[in-house]
Structure 1
């Protein structure tokens, strides 16, 4: 089969890229190694945080673009994906001042709350410092989002094939590449490898990737102790061994709470999906101390992967005909449709995005 672009990886980023390419009238085939709805990567589950709260304009503008595209995708597919709940960050850290300054410079609504004001608004969370509230934050339904992206891509003409592992990518020239699978070979002008934790295995010899650290993260859904409480998406800088906490309500599942990027390193093809006992105990103790609105003894563990770069910025770059997307460092999901636009641009010879997303920075 010959197409304009082959997208490898049917998680959130690959699905968004296929949508962005197909809606421009390009012939696209999307190849995913696992079955639809699998839980082996970083795009599954019922909830992800959406926020504009970044200290720099690049990420804020990318999130704004993504928000508009999420709403467009909702209208296109008739699916509810993005729910605005407001978001709050707290903790004794200069990071909060940097977030506030970044939001102010970008004209994004935000304001400070005292600990008592924050606790009155969200009694399920304990505050001992001032809190930064950003009302435009919320949550995305992850599984529905990926399904909607693939549905929109398919409706625009993309061919989507699950359970089709790519065995290798063969570069023939600047504008020609062969993508090999066990069931056949696809010839294309460009290939977009949106495989995140599998990037080093698939394209490590084709592109100068930065070091990638792949970890098995283990948040948990805790049962709400008081069903009437309202919950924002939240972040808490705690310092020490675990650094930071994130959380949000996940309707039907509980209150999702997790440490950020401190799980054990793993091979994505050889994971046990089991929570590391010491970290699980620490997470439960955090819930007991800081989240009076949950039951720390009633929980369900979750398993997902982070693929983290040394500076926690994404890799969105091209080497010859090979476009690479990886290193989403636990904060990429909110940006999906905008990342798809960036990668589609790269596949169609547009200028590279911000230098922080290059292979070498």
Structure 2
């Protein structure tokens, strides 16, 4: 069978002489039909590794697991080991999520276009929903997204708009601003040296003054408090530790919440000091998708909302074939993608 490996040099190589895995109890053998290409998939190590942390396909052998049948459509997420970019993968049952997906033609197998759309959903939407849940996003919340042109950023914006939030998103590239607006962003902010906190606080400007007195309305005991609600209510920072301080300062106080959920801007170096740099009354949290309990993930509902009802925009940017592996790598690492990048495997083995 075919297996895609990532070399220490960063090159993707395709071998065709790998042995198909043998079924095992409580493991699912999946015929892989399509997979998404994420930046983390292309991170090199000191040795050769089989690439890929997510894919979609059909069950070849259910390993005795109840509720799964041969031929069933599934999504696979394997954060610990990866190695899903191959014709067949054998994974623990906990890594597999069964799905019901309607084919383009009733009664027919899923076609390549449907497999491609399905492959663009699992990791991105699970991450988006997890982040917004951490932020407790509510209707009318003012949400700032740092790193908005990434597939995660685009998906967060789409879901947040469906929830009724007001969305401001950022980009370093002015040419990508129209795509962000089409995706639902109410405001697009250009990232620049010195940060964007002032831009955000001017965009979401509001201050409220409260006067309180004692029960006798004694002037000497009256107090006036200014609640500085200028700034975003919530923020998703996908760029990393080098921008998180600026993101925190772009939030309203008290009550603003920032979720640090990526490092698209590079790890770099920072002198960030939580005690000094988190404003009083503002909160910082994090999110890592590999900590999500797959058994509690409503992926079927998400798939229905994307593919059946069109409630969330599917940011599928480009579909490649196995013959285009070098192009895939250059496209993703060259920041050319404006959404999810997917590879569809041919039917022929």
TM class by shorter chain equals under 0.3
Between 1 and 2, higher relative CO (CA 8 Å, sep ≥ 6) is seen in 1
TM-score by length of 1: 0.23
Q: Max radius of gyration: which structure?
A: 2
